[in-house]
C-alpha cells in the first residue's frame, strides 16, 4: 500500500486555520483521498488531557521547560496512535499545527533555544516530517482582533502582543529554513483568495 501524505496547517492566532482546515479536508475528499483530520496538542485521549493542561488559563504557573516537554509528550502519543498508523494505511493526515508551532511558540514566544527543541524533535519524531506545511500568515494585530471575537482566551491567547510578534517572526524563520516544505499563504486577503492559494499549493501533492 502507498504511504499517505502528511499535511500540516500552521499560523498564529486568528489566521483562519479552523475554516481552512475544513476547506482542505473537503477539497481532498473531492479528489477521493481518504483524510484523517487531527490537531496538536491533542489527537488522542491522553494528548487531549495534556492539551487541557496546556491551554487552561486558570492552571498553575507552568514552567517553560514543562510546557515544552508536555508538548512533545502529547506529540509522541499522537504520532504513535494516530499519525503514523494513518499514513501506513494510505490515509492522508491533515493536522492543525505540529512541530513548527513548537519552534514558533516555545522557541519564538518563550525564547527557548532551537537546539533543545530540535533534540526533542529528533527523539520523538525520528524521520517523520510533514510532506507539506501551509503557513497562514497575517499581521499580529489583525489576527488578535479576529481571535478576540471568538470569546474567552486560553493560556496562550492572553499573552502580550510582543509574544505573538516573536511567534510570527519564528514562523517566518521556519519558512526561510524550510522553503521546500513550508509554503506561505497570506491570510489577510479575502477568504476566496486564501483558498485559491491553498488549492494552487496542494496541486503539487495531488499530482
pLDDT (tens digit per residue) in 111-150 = 999 999 999 999 999 999 999 999 999 999 887 777 776 6
Helices (H), the chain: 17-30, 45-55, 64-78, 84-88, 99-102, 114-125, 140-148, 161-177, 191-206
Domain extent, residue 22, equals 6-206
Residue 1 within a domain = no
Q: Could you give the number of structural domains in the chain?
A: 1
Q: What is the pLDDT of residues 40-73, one digit of tens each?
A: 999 999 999 999 999 887 778 899 999 999 999 9
- pTM of the predicted structure, to 2 decimals: 0.93
29-45 residue pLDDT tens:
999 999 999 999 999 99
More confident residue, 53 or 159: 53
Please give the Cα distance from 167 to 171 (Å, whole number). 6
More confident residue, 72 or 14: 72
CATH number for the domain spanning 52: value is: 3.40.50.300
Residue 180, judged by CB atoms within 10 A of its CB (0-12, 13-18, 19+), counts as: exposed
Paired sense of beta strands 132-137 and 6-11, if any: parallel
Q: Specify if 100 maps to a domain.
A: yes
Amino acid at each position: 500500500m502507498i504511504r499517505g501524505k502528511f499535511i500540516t496547517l500552521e499560523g498564529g492566532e486568528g489566521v483562519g486555520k479552523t475554516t481552512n482546515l475544513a476547506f482542505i479536508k473537503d477539497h481532498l475528499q473531492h479528489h477521493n483521498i481518504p483524510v484523517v483530520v487531527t490537531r496538536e496538542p491533542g489527537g488522542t485521549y491522553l494528548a487531549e488531557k495534556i492539551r487541557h493542561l496546556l491551554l487552561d488559563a486558570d492552571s498553575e504557573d507552568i514552567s517553560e521547560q514543562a510546557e515544552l516537554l508536555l508538548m512533545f509528550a502529547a506529540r509522541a502519543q499522537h504520532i504513535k496512535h494516530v499519525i503514523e498508523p494513518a499514513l501506513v494505511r494510505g490515509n492522508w493526515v491533515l493536522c492543525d499545527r505540529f512541530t513548527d508551532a513548537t519552534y514558533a511558540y516555545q522557541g519564538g514566544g518563550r525564547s527557548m533555544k532551537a537546539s533543545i527543541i530540535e533534540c526533542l524533535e529528533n527523539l520523538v519524531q525520528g524521520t517523520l516530517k510533514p510532506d507539506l506545511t501551509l503557513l497562514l500568515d497575517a499581521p499580529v494585530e489583525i489576527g488578535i482582533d479576529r481571535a478576540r471575537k471568538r470569546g474567552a482566551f486560553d493560556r496562550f491567547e492572553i499573552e502580550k502582543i510582543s509574544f505573538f510578534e516573536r511567534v510570527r517572526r519564528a514562523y517566518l524563520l521556519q519558512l526561510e529554513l524550510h522553503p521546500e516544505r513550508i509554503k506561505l499563504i497570506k491570510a489577510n486577503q479575502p477568504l476566496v483568495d486564501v483558498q485559491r492559494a491553498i488549492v494552487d499549493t496542494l496541486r503539487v501533492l495531488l499530482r
